[in-house]
Structure 1
Amino acid sequence: MLNVHLVPHTHDDVGWLKTFDQYFYGLRNYIQRAGVQYILDSVVQALAANPERRFTYVEMAYFMRWWNSQTQEVKDLVRELVRTGRLQFALAGWTMADEATVHYSDAIDQLTRGHDALRRLFGDCGIPRVAWQIDPFGHSRDHTELFRDAGLDAVFFQRMDYREKNFRRESKSLEVLWETSVEPDPQSRGLFTSMFYDSYCHPATFCFDDKCNDEPMIDDPDMPEYNIPKRVREFLAHVNTVRRAFATNHIMVLMGCDFTYENAHVNFKNIDKLIRYVNQVQKNGSDVNLLYSTPQCYTKAVNRAMARNTTIERRRGDFFPYASGPNSYWTGYYTSRPALKKFIHDASNLLTAIEQVS
């Protein structure tokens, strides 16, 4: 049986096309439709409506802004969702930090700030177990060592050189043990690393967000638009493509994208139906089992499966530079705005020195 871990999530840039405040409050939607406060409002209610549902959240800058404006009733509900594993945090830094140009102490500080906030609110059960670096433009060994030292069990990401990704798809090696030590060390436990088959967004034609135009799951057979058999076939076709790139009987399919789930009821209602109807065809011989999941649950399942049946590849070095295609190298940001970068690094050096003597 192939277990397909459906992971509902939202990727909420802490500043990109709009400012932090504009993203949080949903201002200037003519630039980009995004209102993070509505995402969190909506997700909490949708999770409370069905105990089978799961959701993964990442950016603590937004979460803490939202949390501080909630009633005690909502805070108690969120604590229950976290306690039961229905709402889980991944990475949980103040933001999802770049790995190429960020000062090392800044990377530590922003991750520590996010984790400390979760520990104060939810105790140890709120602390994430996996890093979720799905959008930085390349990845460094140093950053991964930081994740391991922070007690994280895995790192997930999308962006890597297109040639290496193609090779790893074909060789079923999209999941590796990433060596974090500077020198080769056969005793190092490394960090389990999972690279997405494609992007960090939903499969093509399966965006159920109300910002999308994909077909919903229409399950009334008396309706002329009834489409369940077609939608099941389409999803199974996607799953059977992805499964060929992974070595175990577990794969992850992400159900979300940038600033999705403002109306989470729409997303979850359709995912509920997708799970129900895909799993129903098991009686006709299908070996695909869909379930709500999280990156943390997926990591546990894959590691158990690999311990029984698979020898995992060990990889060293960085995933730099990132190229998304021929002659498409994402390297300009290494040196852009050099004066600003210098000011930030000088300030970080000064802050680190002060912290050592304070």
Structure 2
Amino acid sequence: MGKRNFYIILSLGVFLTVSLYLYNGIETGAEAIAKRQQYVDDLRRKIGNLENIAEENGRTIDRLEQQVKEAKAEKNIDFDEEKEKTEEKDEEEKEVAPVPVRGNRGNMEHIHQVQKHHQPTPPMADVCGLRDNVSVAHSDLQMLDLYDTWKFENPDGGVWKQGWKIEYDAEQVQSLPKLEVIVIPHSHCDPGWIMTFEEYYSRQTRNILDGMAKHLGEKDEMRFIYAEISFFETWWREQSEETRKKVKGYLEEGKFEIVTGGWVMTDEANAHYHSMVTELFEGHEWIQNHLGSKAIPKAHWSIDPFGLSPSLPHLLTSANITNAVLQRVHYSVKRELALKKNLEFYWRQLFGSTGHPDLRSHIMPFYSYDIPHTCGPEPSVCCQFDFRRMPEGGKSCDWGIPPQKINNENVAQRAQMIYDQYRKKSQLFKNNVIFQPLGDDFRYDIDFEWNSQYENYKNYLNT
């Protein structure tokens, strides 16, 4: 009896469990079906909305097409009317006789009768008030005219590939004033090129500016110029008050000079003048606030922008910059200017002839701003006077002849070599002053270069 009751209870338990499971399954399935139905309803509603939007867009397009057709029709009508007026005016002008001879009063009266019907064209100043003070600038050389006369050819000039073989009379130059050579160490630091700004700064630019702070104090006659304030500001934030005071002293003494002083060395080919103003303002404001007004640049350093814009010298003269060094000029332009010794000039814009926007400019005559292309026309020779390219410096000359350290035994021969380059370069200018930039991209990032360039140029070649 007990076993029987047990089995009955067990059966009832199993039955209830199965029933509950089936009930829950049915309820869960119903919920899933309801959710799917809700999803389908939402999807249908969205499709309906999209169809309504598409219909509205279609109506909008139809209206726009109709407006375009009406505008074209109206334009054609205006054109026809204008054409008719022009033809009538042409016919009237044909009736105007040539200027009469003295005393021919009858013809003169006829001319006046015809001309009195003409409506004079209003002066441009009435249309644009900005033209009130505009004048055509007078210049000795107008580039727009020269472009039509120069032949942009590419002859092989020999060692000066884009120019010609420069020669001079060794005896005749003895009677000329001695050459004055200005050697200026520099380092061109691109904020954006192959690496990121941060990578360039941490790997090279920090070392360059650290070296400047160190070596300008150790070397009495060492000089250095620098342009990119974006890098300089980053470096300045890391410096102690002692280092900052020291660098300000270099600026006051003229041992260190900031050139242009823009946030970057701005592009001139594609940049809008608003961007040029912004980056120049940013740099000069930082200089004024952190280095003082005496550090505001007076010289413009444009060695790597591709293309030159007349807008920039106008902006620079407004910022009290008076001098400029330019490099990226078409080799045909350089050659033509060099032929007539016109590589130094006052750059005047087309607008205005008062002389205020004139910028005293110097164009580097040769291919690039690196040392192989700045001492003279023969890069294989000039490269031998880039003492960073000695074996210890980790760089080499592309022409296969490395520099030699200057000593008492070779100083006369080496001095004659570089003098020959300086003298040939001087044949392209009207005076006896030669400018030699001494640097390249991201140079002076190791002590070896600071020491080797200074010692070889100052202690030997300059004696």
Same fold (TM over 0.5): yes
Match of 1:63 among 225, 232, 240: 232
- 1:188–1:127 distance in 2 versus 1, CA, 3 Å: closer
Partners of 2:411 and 2:461 within 8 A in 1: no
**Alignment-derived partner of residue 420 in structure 2:** 237
**Alignment-derived partner of residue 212 in structure 1:** 395
1:273 is displaced (CA, Å) by 2.9
Quote the sequence identity (%).
29
- Deviations along 1:90-143, whole A, 9 cap, x unmatched? 011010011121121111111111111111122111111011111111101111
- 1:12–1:202 distance in 2 versus 1, CA, 3 Å: same
Distance 2:441 2:239 in 1: 24
Match of 1:14 among 178, 185, 191: 191
1:59 is displaced (CA, Å) by 0.3
- Deviations along 1:194-232, whole A, 9 cap, x unmatched? 1002221113322222343342423154xxxxx323321
**Alignment-derived partner of residue 74 in structure 1:** 243
Distance 1:19 1:95 in 2: 14
2:300 maps to 1:131: yes
Partners of 1:232 and 1:274 within 8 A in 2: no
**Alignment-derived partner of residue 321 in structure 1:** none
Distance 1:12 1:147 in 2: 21
1:180 is displaced (CA, Å) by 2.4
Match of 1:87 among 224, 247, 256: 256
- 1:117–1:163 distance in 2 versus 1, CA, 3 Å: same
> Given residue 180 of structure 2, which amino acid in structure 1 is its aligned partner?
N
> Given residue 167 of structure 1, which amino acid in structure 2 is its aligned partner?
E
What SS class does the counterpart of residue 73 from structure 1 fall into? helix
1:250 is displaced (CA, Å) by 1.1
> Given residue 202 of structure 2, which amino acid in structure 1 is its aligned partner?
Y
What SS class does the counterpart of residue 332 from structure 2 fall into? helix
- Structure with the higher helix share, 1 or 2: 2
Partners of 1:58 and 1:132 within 8 A in 2: yes
**Alignment-derived partner of residue 312 in structure 1:** none
**Alignment-derived partner of residue 411 in structure 2:** 228
Partners of 1:7 and 1:54 within 8 A in 2: yes
- 1:84–1:212 distance in 2 versus 1, CA, 3 Å: same
Distance 1:189 1:68 in 2: 35
What SS class does the counterpart of residue 100 from structure 1 fall into? coil
**Alignment-derived partner of residue 12 in structure 2:** none
- Deviations along 1:312-352, whole A, 9 cap, x unmatched? xxxxxxxxxxxxxxxxxxxxxxxxxxxxxxxxxxxxxxxxx
- 1:36–1:187 distance in 2 versus 1, CA, 3 Å: closer
2:192 maps to 1:23: no
Partners of 1:43 and 1:264 within 8 A in 2: no
- Deviations along 1:76-98, whole A, 9 cap, x unmatched? 11111111110100011010011
Partners of 2:179 and 2:423 within 8 A in 1: no
Partners of 2:252 and 2:294 within 8 A in 1: yes
- Deviations along 1:251-284, whole A, 9 cap, x unmatched? 100100000001245334433432343344xxxx
Match of 2:337 among 168, 174, 184: 168
Partners of 1:89 and 1:126 within 8 A in 2: yes
- 1:186–1:108 distance in 2 versus 1, CA, 3 Å: closer
2:355 maps to 1:178: no
Distance 2:219 2:201 in 1: 26
> Given residue 3 of structure 1, which amino acid in structure 2 is its aligned partner?
E
2:423 maps to 1:266: no
Partners of 1:217 and 1:228 within 8 A in 2: no
Distance 1:49 1:216 in 2: 24
Give the greater-gyration-radius structure (CA). Answer: 2
What is the TM-score when the length of structure 2 is the normalising length? Answer: 0.55
Query: Over aligned residues, Cα RMSD in angstroms?
Result: 1.7
- 1:170–1:264 distance in 2 versus 1, CA, 3 Å: farther
What SS class does the counterpart of residue 46 from structure 1 fall into? helix
2:437 maps to 1:250: no
The residue correspondences of 1:309-324 to structure 2 (distance < 5 A) are: none
What SS class does the counterpart of residue 254 from structure 1 fall into? strand
> Given residue 234 of structure 1, which amino acid in structure 2 is its aligned partner?
M
1:51 is displaced (CA, Å) by 2.1
1:186 is displaced (CA, Å) by 5.6
Structure 1 residue runs of 5 or longer lacking an equivalent are 27-34, 222-226, 281-358
Partners of 1:133 and 1:156 within 8 A in 2: yes
What SS class does the counterpart of residue 23 from structure 1 fall into? helix
> Given residue 287 of structure 2, which amino acid in structure 1 is its aligned partner?
L
Partners of 2:228 and 2:265 within 8 A in 1: yes
Partners of 2:386 and 2:453 within 8 A in 1: no
> Given residue 190 of structure 1, which amino acid in structure 2 is its aligned partner?
D
The residue correspondences of 1:93-172 to structure 2 (distance < 5 A) are: 93-172=262-341
What SS class does the counterpart of residue 9 from structure 1 fall into? strand
Query: How many matched pairs?
Result: 266
> Given residue 277 of structure 2, which amino acid in structure 1 is its aligned partner?
I
- Deviations along 1:130-163, whole A, 9 cap, x unmatched? 1111111110111111111111001211111211
What SS class does the counterpart of residue 5 from structure 1 fall into? strand
